[in-house]
């Protein structure tokens, strides 16, 4: 890629997966309002996440990134947000205990409202409508009016994100997330599930250690708050652009829609508008790498997105599928090493392992998910690089969307409680199962 191509503004580069808003005037109005609204996150907090991710790249911390495939406006309730936060915290405790390293907690939350789809339309019983593109764009209901892209939804996304961030921040600092609350998070859970019981045992061990430290005179106040960051796919460039702000201290431009933005598998072409946009912001950036990724592309991402080789700036989120991870990953890691950069590597073991169950539900098998994570660890260990973390789709509710787990969900159970607006998520028990299995790998 030549320098002039690198310097192209995102507006001059091809942007795929952008909605066709029928009401352009309404879109302009919303974007004007968003441009004048307070940013949702601060440049300082984005920088903190970058330094945490640099520690992950050095093998000094582990990254746990997760949440819904697609957040929905109806899902923005205090209960649902608390349950997701709680699941993230419970997984983090298991992993912290196993690694004796800090776990960087990054919600796939407060902004994950837009989806790239493989087909622009959907047909049911002979009726064809535009496909659902996420609550940021149109409605989930299979109804012609609901499926029309409505720019007012961009403002709702902003408000829903703000509400979510407020609730999460409240939990993170009010002592709810404190390590003395380990049992409380598990209260509604322990009796009913194997993962809950396993977790309860661990919580007693940690309690014991805390009491020991307290008795030795160690002050434990620090354990009463946690840091939780927010991330989403930066898909809708008009929205992302309207929420960029210049940090008066550094003069740098930040996306203030979330701490970390990632570029999805479908929009990651090195010459794409999405890559050009992310180049223009100072946030930590993720790039999803699917099985067709070439070493050349990896080198381009480092050159374009991380020209200064800044620790923590660039995270590669690999999503190859359990069957391909061991073959595809080594050459990509080597390509990144050749650039002199040190990206953070995270495994998304979800998106390469999706299949259609006989019932017609999109699903994933927990065993495949774990196998991909295992392959990711094996490859990194063989090459002497750090398997930095995982990126998963989960919810705090007892849904039946993925197969497997200690409290096993079978293919025939999927219809019981299948609520995802897009891809199948691990439920709370399966998320904890994964954390315990992962803990054994660490
Ligand atoms: C996703 O994260 O929901 C997604 C669509 O992933 P990918 O871009 O890796 O396919
Ligand atoms: Mn998904």
**pLDDT surpasses 50 at 227:** yes
Cα–Cα distance for residue pair 231/259, rounded to 1 Å: 6
Centre of ligand 1 from the C-alpha of residue 116, in Å: 8
Predicted confidence at residue 191, as pLDDT, reads: 64
Q: Residues enclosing ligand 1, CB less than 6 A?
A: 69, 116, 233, 264-266, 288, 319, 351, 423
Centre of ligand 1 from the C-alpha of residue 255, in Å: 20
Q: pLDDT digits over 335-381, tens only?
A: 999 999 999 999 999 999 999 999 999 999 999 999 999 999 999 99
Mean pLDDT of the chain: 95
Q: pLDDT digits over 30-46, tens only?
A: 999 999 999 999 999 99
Centre of ligand 1 from the C-alpha of residue 264, in Å: 5
| Per-residue pLDDT band at 7 (split at 50, 70, 90) | low
Predicted confidence at residue 23, as pLDDT, reads: 98
* Token output for 348: 């998304």
Predicted confidence at residue 111, as pLDDT, reads: 98
- Residue reference for tokens 């999405």: 274
Predicted confidence at residue 6, as pLDDT, reads: 52
- Residue reference for tokens 């200064």: 308
Predicted confidence at residue 173, as pLDDT, reads: 84
Angle (CA) 329-332-334 rounded to 5° is: 110
Q: Which ligand is nearest to the CA of 114?
A: 1
| Secondary structure percentages of the chain, helix, strand, coil, to 5 | 45, 15, 40
How many CA atoms does the CB half-sphere of 74 hold within 13 Å? 7
Residues 396-404 have a mean pLDDT of 96
Centre of ligand 1 from the C-alpha of residue 4, in Å: 30
CA-based nearest residue to 16, from 391, 255, 277: 277
- Output the residue whose Cα is nearest ligand 1's atom 1: 69
Centre of ligand 1 from the C-alpha of residue 36, in Å: 30
Q: Which residue intervals of 288-422 are DSSP H helices? A: 295-305, 325-338, 366-383
Q: CB–CB of 433/406 below 8 Å? A: yes
pLDDT over 90 for what percent of the chain? 84
- Residue among 135, 264, 324, 354 whose CB has most ligand 1 atoms within 8 A, to mutate: 264
Predicted confidence at residue 194, as pLDDT, reads: 87
**pLDDT surpasses 90 at 218:** no
Residues 284-309 have a mean pLDDT of 98
Distances (CA, A) of 429 to 104, 196, 425: 21, 7, 11
Centre of ligand 1 from the C-alpha of residue 394, in Å: 14
Q: What are phi and psi of 436, to 5 degrees?
A: -65, -40
Cα–Cα distance for residue pair 304/278, rounded to 1 Å: 9
- Residue among 265, 278, 362 whose CB has most ligand 1 atoms within 8 A, to mutate: 265
Please measure the distance between the N-terminal and C-terminal CA atoms of the chain and give it in whole angstroms: 39
146 DSSP assignment: T
Distances (CA, A) of 131 to 38, 94, 124: 32, 39, 11
**Helix H or strand E segment including 350:** none
Cα–Cα distance for residue pair 198/200, rounded to 1 Å: 5
Cα–Cα distance for residue pair 387/130, rounded to 1 Å: 39
Predicted confidence at residue 1, as pLDDT, reads: 47
Q: Which residue intervals of 189-294 are DSSP H helices? A: 194-215, 237-242, 273-279
**pLDDT surpasses 80 at 65:** yes
Locate the ligand 1 atom nearest the alpha carbon of residue 422 and give its number: 3
- Residue among 233, 260, 278 whose CB has most ligand 1 atoms within 8 A, to mutate: 233
Locate the ligand 1 atom nearest the alpha carbon of residue 423 and give its number: 3
**pLDDT surpasses 50 at 2:** no
Torsion angle in degrees (nearest 10) through CA of 27, 148, 255, 89: 150
- Output the residue whose Cα is nearest ligand 1's atom 9: 265
Q: pLDDT digits over 137-153, tens only?
A: 999 999 999 999 999 99
Angle (CA) 25-26-27 rounded to 5° is: 90
Centre of ligand 2 from the C-alpha of residue 305, in Å: 23
Q: pLDDT digits over 149-175, tens only?
A: 999 999 999 999 999 999 999 998 877
């Amino acid at each position: 890629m030549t320098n002039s191509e690198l310097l192209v503004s995102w507006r001059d580069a091809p942007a795929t997966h952008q909605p066709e808003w029928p009401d352009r005037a309404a879109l302009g109005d919303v974007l004007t309002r968003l441009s004048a609204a307070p940013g949702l996150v601060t440049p300082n907090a984005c920088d903190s996440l970058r330094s945490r991710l640099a520690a992950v790249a050095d093998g000094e911390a582990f990254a746990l990134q997760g949440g819904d495939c697609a957040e929905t406006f109806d899902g923005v309730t205090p209960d649902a947000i608390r349950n997701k936060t709680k699941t993230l915290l419970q997984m983090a405790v298991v992993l912290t205990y196993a690694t004796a390293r800090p776990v960087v907690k990054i919600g796939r939350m407060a902004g994950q409202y837009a989806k790239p789809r493989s087909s622009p339309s959907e047909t049911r019983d002979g009726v064809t409508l535009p496909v659902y593109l996420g609550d940021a764009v149109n409605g989930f209901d299979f109804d012609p009016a609901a499926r029309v892209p409505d720019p007012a939804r961009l403002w709702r996304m902003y408000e829903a994100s703000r509400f979510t961030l407020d609730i999460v921040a409240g939990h993170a600092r009010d002592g709810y997330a404190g390590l003395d609350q380990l049992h409380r998070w598990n209260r509604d859970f322990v009796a009913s599930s194997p993962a809950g019981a396993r977790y309860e045992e661990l919580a007693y061990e940690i309690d014991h250690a805390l009491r020991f430290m307290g008795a030795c005179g160690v002050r434990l106040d620090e354990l009463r708050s946690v840091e939780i960051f927010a991330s989403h796919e930066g898909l809708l460039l008009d929205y992302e652009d309207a929420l960029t702000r210049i940090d008066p201290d550094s003069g740098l431009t930040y996306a203030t829609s979330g701490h970390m933005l990632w570029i999805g598998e479908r929009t990651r072409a090195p010459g794409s508008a999405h890559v050009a946009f992310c180049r223009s912001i100072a946030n930590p950036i993720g790039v999803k790498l699917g099985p067709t990724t070439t070493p050349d592309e990896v080198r381009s991402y480092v050159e374009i997105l991380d020209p200064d080789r800044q620790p923590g700036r660039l995270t590669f989120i690999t999503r190859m599928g359990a069957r391909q991870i061991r073959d595809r990953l080594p050459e990509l890691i080597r390509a990144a090493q050749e650039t002199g950069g040190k990206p953070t590597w995270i495994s998304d073991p979800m998106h390469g392992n999706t299949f259609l169950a006989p019932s017609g539900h999109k699903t994933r098998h927990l065993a495949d998910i774990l196998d991909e994570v295992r392959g990711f660890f094996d490859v990194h260990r063989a090459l002497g690089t750090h398997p930095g973390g995982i990126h998963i789709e989960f919810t705090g509710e007892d849904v039946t969307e993925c197969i497997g787990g200690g409290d096993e969900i079978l293919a025939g159970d999927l219809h019981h409680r299948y609520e995802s607006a897009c891809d199948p998520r691990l439920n709370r028990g399966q998320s904890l199962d994964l954390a315990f299995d992962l803990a054994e790998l660490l």
